[in-house]
Amino acid sequence: MSDELNKLAIEALTIQKRIKNDTNKLKKIKDQLIEKSKTRNSSYNINIEDGRIRIMKCKKLIYYKLNEKGFSKLDNQTKNDLLKKKLLKVKFIVNNDNYDDALINNLIPNTLKELIEKRERQPFYVSVYTDIKKNILSKPDDNKDLEDDDENDDVIDDIILNVFPPDSENFTDDDPKDLSEIEKQEKGIE
């Protein structure tokens, strides 16, 4: 590993440790703010010199998350029954492989084409681990070339989403554009 890469890695690790420490401190402060706000009946702001803190009253204190792996194991009839009873909503995602093929062959209907936003990824993922024991991804051999294919990207996406779910408390700054639909509903954001 070159000295330049090593220096960048050390700097990244130092910053990651500071972020983790600050994130933990911020969580404790937010928990204290929530505890001291429990007697209030509505959302409110705390204006300070450098900005403001918005404390939003949640409309619903309980939400439910579906175990998608367990659900996928159910038979289709059971899945359909749950949908018909309106206990579940259907969430649509783009099947990237099929969409790519259809796009190449110009088979995408305009109505769908207008709804799809194309996003590009960086060619690599960078993860910074502050504790070697928590590193669940195997360390690639420096001499081994990793294949660059969508299957590996999807596997890494799955691992990252399972280890660091998007609704994890460490990954939200309460900016509405960063919140999931459930978090928006909880916080009363339309």
Q: pLDDT per residue over 81-109, tens digit each?
A: 999 999 998 888 899 999 999 999 999 99
Phi-psi region of 51 (alpha: psi -120 to 50; beta: other; left: phi over 0): left
- Residues in the chain, overall count: 190
Position 181 in a domain: no
Residue range of the domain that includes 113? 3-172
Position 177 in a domain: no
Q: Are 16 and 130 in contact (CB under 8 A)?
A: yes
- Hey, what are 16's tokens? 């990651």
Position 16 in a domain: yes
pLDDT tens digit sequence for 107-149? 999 999 899 998 888 777 776 666 654 444 444 444 344 444 4
Side-chain-side CA neighbours of residue 145 (13 Å): 3
Position 33 in a domain: yes
Can you give the pTM of this predicted structure? 0.49
Side-chain-side CA neighbours of residue 180 (13 Å): 12
Q: How far is CA 62 from CA 56, 65, 148, in A?
A: 15, 10, 41
Position 123 in a domain: yes
